[in-house]
């Protein structure tokens, strides 16, 4: 069930208006966004946006879980107030499963449509705020990607709970309270681990006093993880130029190439030529073998037919 209302754009919990002046904020007070309430359960974002003629939505109140499956592994991303919900585009890879949205309880969503486009046309700096909101959301995804690469599952869980606490937690005298009720399966999807492994890791963290289970959520007692010292960091090399065109993958010769590189390049071309000739020769031999096999099969078939005819002729009674 979906109910519809309207909310002032200044109260939409977005960072759209952060770049506006006081006068622009005063003018913006009369601009509203459509606000809908969606029941808990699966959320068909594309159908919802089509029905309300919107190009996107923002979480106004509640929590939305975005999930994506690759093979047997499911990845999860949590979206809260101020986060943007964007449907998949036409360039979505065919080998990926559908992008699913799900809520445990009713949530309120602000619709981004013609009202926002008209406001952006009048106050262009709103677009700068929208860009900043998308950047913040992308940074959290990047942090989650790095967390999933930590070798120890205990470290992944601790870092993920701290990341969630930055958005939904609050400080108490005993530690930082993270009040989200997450199943072990959901927490495993957040950090890239199986549910049994998450259960064992949570038990170890609880026994060590780093976490305290509460209803709902957790109390974070251990400090948040810190980056390693610069001397111990491994900095990956950035990728080379993007391949453009069908022949871009081939190495290109440059004036500043060393003599060793030119020699290696020539040897590579010679190897490719030799392998191509070898491939053509082996293909011709394979065709010749297939031709001989077909001839042998025809002769074998004819021989079996003659033998069968001889057997039948011998079994016939003599004519009187």
In this structure, is residue 166 part of a structural domain? Answer: yes
Q: Note whether 129 and 27 are same-domain residues.
A: yes
Q: Note whether 200 and 139 are same-domain residues.
A: no
Angle at 59 between CA 53 and CA 62, to 5 degrees: 130
In this structure, is residue 276 part of a structural domain? Answer: yes
In this structure, is residue 236 part of a structural domain? Answer: no
Report the percent of the chain where pLDDT is more than 70: 84
Q: Note whether 56 and 112 are same-domain residues.
A: yes
pLDDT of residue 199: 92
Q: Note whether 78 and 201 are same-domain residues.
A: no
CA dihedral (260, 266, 267, 271) in degrees, to 10, reads 160
pLDDT of residue 241: 60
| Res. 242: pLDDT tops 60 | no
Q: Which residues span the domain enclosing 28?
A: 2-147
Q: Note whether 129 and 167 are same-domain residues.
A: no
Q: Note whether 142 and 165 are same-domain residues.
A: no
pLDDT band, residue 277 (cuts 50/70/90): confident
In this structure, is residue 313 part of a structural domain? Answer: no
- Number of structural domains, the chain? 3
pLDDT of residue 200: 93
Express each pLDDT in 150-176 by its tens digit. 889 999 999 999 998 888 888 888 888
In this structure, is residue 310 part of a structural domain? Answer: no
Express each pLDDT in 177-229 by its tens digit. 888 888 899 899 999 888 899 999 999 999 888 888 888 888 888 887 776 66
At 217, which CATH number? 1.10.10.10
Rounded Cα distance between 269 and 29, Å, is 68
Q: Note whether 182 and 138 are same-domain residues.
A: no
Rounded Cα distance between 162 and 157, Å, is 9
Q: What is the reported pTM?
A: 0.66
Q: Note whether 13 and 119 are same-domain residues.
A: yes
| Res. 250: pLDDT tops 80 | no
In this structure, is residue 242 part of a structural domain? Answer: no
At 101, which CATH number? 2.60.120.10
Q: Note whether 8 and 142 are same-domain residues.
A: yes
Q: Note whether 25 and 141 are same-domain residues.
A: yes
In this structure, is residue 251 part of a structural domain? Answer: no
Q: Note whether 169 and 285 are same-domain residues.
A: no
Pairing of strands 100-103, 41-43: antiparallel
**DSSP letters spanning 14-34:** -SGGGGS-HHHHHHHTT-EEE
In this structure, is residue 93 part of a structural domain? Answer: yes
Q: Which residue blocks in the chain are alpha helix, DSSP H?
A: 22-28, 45-52, 114-122, 125-147, 153-168, 184-191, 195-207, 259-315
Q: Note whether 9 and 37 are same-domain residues.
A: yes
């Amino acid at each position: 069930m979906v109910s519809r209302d309207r909310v002032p754009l200044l109260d939409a919990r977005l960072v759209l208006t952060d770049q506006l002046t006081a006068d622009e904020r005063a003018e913006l007070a009369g601009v509203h966004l459509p606000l809908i309430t969606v029941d808990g359960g699966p959320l068909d974002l594309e159908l919802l946006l089509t029905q309300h003629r919107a190009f996107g939505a923002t979480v106004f109140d509640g929590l939305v879980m975005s999930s994506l499956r690759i093979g047997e592994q499911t990845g999860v991303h949590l979206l809260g107030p101020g986060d943007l919900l964007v449907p998949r585009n036409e360039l979505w890879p065919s080998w990926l499963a559908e992008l699913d949205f799900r809520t445990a309880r009713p949530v309120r969503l602000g619709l981004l449509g013609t009202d926002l486009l008209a406001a952006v046309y009048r106050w262009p700096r709103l677009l700068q705020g929208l860009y900043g909101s998308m950047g913040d959301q992308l940074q959290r995804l990047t942090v989650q990607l790095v967390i999933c690469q930590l070798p120890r599952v205990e470290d992944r869980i601790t870092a993920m709970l701290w990341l969630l606490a930055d958005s939904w937690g609050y400080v108490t005298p005993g530690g930082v309270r993270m009040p989200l009720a997450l199943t072990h399966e959901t927490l495993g999807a957040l950090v890239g681990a199986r549910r049994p492994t998450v259960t064992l890791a949570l038990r170890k963290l609880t026994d060590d006093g780093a976490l305290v289970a509460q209803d709902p959520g957790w109390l974070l007692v251990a400090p948040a993880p810190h980056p390693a010292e610069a001397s111990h960091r491994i900095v990956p090399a950035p990728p080379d130029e993007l391949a453009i065109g069908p022949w871009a993958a081939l190495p290109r010769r440059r004036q500043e190439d060393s003599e060793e590189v030119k020699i290696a390049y020539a040897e590579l071309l010679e190897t490719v030529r030799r392998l191509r000739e070898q491939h053509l020769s082996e293909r011709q031999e394979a065709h010749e073998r297939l031709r001989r096999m077909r001839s042998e099969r025809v002769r074998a078939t004819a021989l079996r037919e003659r033998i069968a005819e001889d057997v039948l002729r011998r079994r016939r009674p003599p004519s009187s």
